[in-house]
Amino acid sequence: MAKVELKINGKQHSFDVEDRTLLVNLIRDHAQLTGTHVGCDTSQCGACTIHMNGVAVKSCTVLAGQANGADITTIEGMAKGDKLHPVQQAFTECHALQCGFCTPGMIMAVSGFLKDNPKPTDEEIYRGLEGNLCRCTGYINIVKAVKQAAKAMSK
């Protein structure tokens, strides 16, 4: 067993978990934040994407122990009260989701790469989304939403 102390969405937590616990399981089962999804569990689909110390990572491929002391943001930490994060707002307005399963991971990946590249070209958006799969294949509206979010955030 290992003691893992970390901050999730601004709140300090301390958990006693098995060493083999994955970060995504700590988030979902121990912190009870089920917005972060497990899609493939093989680090291909990106549904489990969260921010660890400000960068997008796939939480199904990080051990809870590796996140000891980290500052984690999940989809639940993106909105400020009733005000959605600009990426969430753009996904809503552009109808960038169908079933919605991939959406939390998409939003965390997009908000991650917009920090590094606030004005991406179409090609850069495609490359930025390489780690996330939408099995409804609704990519056209997702790309639209990324552009709209980039515009909103640059204001």
Partner 1 sequence: MHSFSYVKATSVKQAVDLLAANAEAKLLSGGMTLIPTMKARLAQPSHLIDIAGIAELSGIEVKDGKLTIGAATKHVEVSRSAVVKKAIPALAYLAGHIGDPQVRNRGTIGGSLANNDPAADYPSAALSLGATIVTNKREIAADDYFQGMFATALDAGEMIVKIVFPVPAKAAYEKFPHPASGYAMAGAFVSQHGKTVRVAITGAGPGVFRWTEAEAALGKKLAAASVESLNVDASNLNEDMHGTKEYRANLAKVMTKRAVAKLGK
Kindly list the distances between the CA atom of residue 91 and the CA atoms of 105, 132, 138, in Å, as whole numbers in the listed order: 12, 15, 11
Beta strands in the chain (DSSP E): 2-8, 11-17, 49-52, 55-58, 71-73
| Under 8 Å between Cβ of 109 and 47 | no
Cβ of residue 82: shortest distance to partner 1, in angstroms? 29
Based on CB atoms, which residue is closest to partner 1, 62 or 96?
62
Kindly state the smallest distance separating residue 14's Cβ from partner 1, in Å. 17
Per DSSP bridges, beta strands 71-73 and 2-8 are parallel
**Which residue, 11 or 16, has its beta carbon nearer to partner 1?**
16
- Binding to partner 1 (CB under 8 A) within 16-35 occurs at 18-20, 22
Interacting residues with partner 1 (CB under 8 A) = 2, 18-20, 22, 41-44, 46, 49, 55-58, 61-63, 65-66, 68, 109, 112-113, 127-128, 130-132
